[in-house]
């Protein structure tokens, strides 16, 4: 008989392994909190950069500053849209899962599970798009600010 503590990677027999469901819920909460914070950053950046591009700025933006500002603006917009799409896909996946649990017949259950898988794949894809967009967005925003400061 194997020890569940050893199997879970725990060092002390006094530690109780947490159920996988609890760990998944914690991971889900962390991901949602990260997404909320990153969404706030990307949408806030959009507003600041939009004002920078549409208002008269003293000293005027040079070509490098304008380039990095535009790159940041576009990537932050893509990140914001991808974040919203990811939240929507997550909600649809869980609604489909609930529908599968409540299904009366096997056909309805299978259809709901296929929908759930579709929305989980959509969530994964939109989360990847978000990460691919937010990283260059933050980098270009940092470069823009460095150009403005020096």
CA atoms within 13 A on the CB side of 62: 8
Query: What per-residue confidence (pLDDT) applies to 18?
Result: 60
Which of 9-18, 41-50, 91-100 has the weakest average pLDDT?
Answer: 9-18
Cis peptide preceding 100, ω within 30 of 0 = no
Dist CA 93 CA 39 (whole Å): 21
98 contact partners, CB below 8 Å, separation of at least 6: none
Per-range mean pLDDT, top range of 27-36, 47-56, 126-135 = 126-135
Look at residue 138 and tell me whether its pLDDT is greater than 70. yes
62-101: pLDDT as tens digits = 999 999 999 999 999 999 999 899 989 988 998 998 999 9
Q: Bin 96: left if φ > 0, else alpha if -120 < ψ < 50, else beta.
A: alpha
Dist CA 5 CA 98 (whole Å): 32
Mean pLDDT of 22-51: 81
- Comparing C-alpha atoms, which of 113, 85, 76 is closest to residue 97? 113
Q: What is the pTM of this model?
A: 0.73
DSSP 33-47: HHHHHHHHHHHHHHH
pLDDT band at 39, cuts 50/70/90? Answer: confident
The runs of H, that is alpha helices, within the chain are: 4-7, 20-54, 63-102, 106-149
Per-residue tokens: 135: 């990283």
Look at residue 112 and tell me whether its pLDDT is greater than 90. yes
106/1: higher pLDDT: 106
Query: What per-residue confidence (pLDDT) applies to 14?
Result: 45
């Amino acid at each position: 008989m194997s020890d569940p503590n050893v199997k879970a990677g725990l060092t002390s027999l006094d530690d109780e392994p947490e159920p996988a469901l609890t760990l998944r819920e914690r991971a889900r909460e962390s991901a949602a909190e990260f997404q909320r914070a990153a969404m706030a950053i990307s949408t806030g950046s959009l507003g600041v950069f939009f004002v920078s591009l549409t208002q008269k700025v003293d000293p005027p933006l040079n070509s490098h500053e304008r380039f990095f500002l535009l790159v940041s603006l576009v990537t932050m917009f893509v990140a914001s849209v991808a974040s919203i799409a990811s939240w929507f896909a997550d909600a649809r996946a869980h609604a489909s899962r609930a529908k599968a649990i409540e299904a009366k017949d096997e056909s309805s259950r299978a259809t709901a599970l296929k929908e759930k898988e579709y929305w989980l794949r959509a969530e994964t894809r939109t989360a990847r798009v978000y990460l691919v967009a937010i990283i260059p967005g933050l980098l270009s925003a940092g470069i823009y600010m460095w150009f403005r400061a020096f």
